[in-house]
Amino acid sequence: MKGFKLTSCSLSSFPKLLGTIPFSSPDRVEYGYNRQAERIRKKDQNETVHAYEYDRLGRPIEDRVTAVGSGVDDAVRRIATTYEANNAVLTASFREVPRGFLIKTWR
């Protein structure tokens, strides 16, 4: 993609690797990784922070918003995924936290 390049990468906070990728100055996106090179954190240019979790097989099971940036709709704060034995997605669900804890699930 045009305009994307890795400008900094630090191993000083091992085991978490943090890379910064600017979109257009001064906007930037920050990523945090664990030892398995799985993304565990993302902070976007709106200051919204996501935390990611994985199961023992490395499959993504949760995308949770831990901080909402200003001007961002915060209706969905968590997306969870479960899997079948053959790695097919069994369910995907989200929770609309501010509007009464409505949970929607797809199979």
Domain boundary assignment for the chain: 1-45, 46-107
The average pLDDT across 81-100 equals 80
What's the longest Cα–Cα distance across the chain? 45
Q: Are 45 and 28 in contact (CB under 8 A)?
A: yes
Q: Which helix (H) or strand (E) holds 37?
A: none
With H, G, I as helix, E, B as strand and everything else as coil, classify residue 99.
Answer: coil
pLDDT at 57 over 70: yes
Average pLDDT for the chain: 77
Q: What is the DSSP letter of 78?
A: E
Percentage, residues of the chain above pLDDT 90: 42
pLDDT for the residue 76 = 84
Q: Which two tokens stand for residue 101?
A: 């804890």
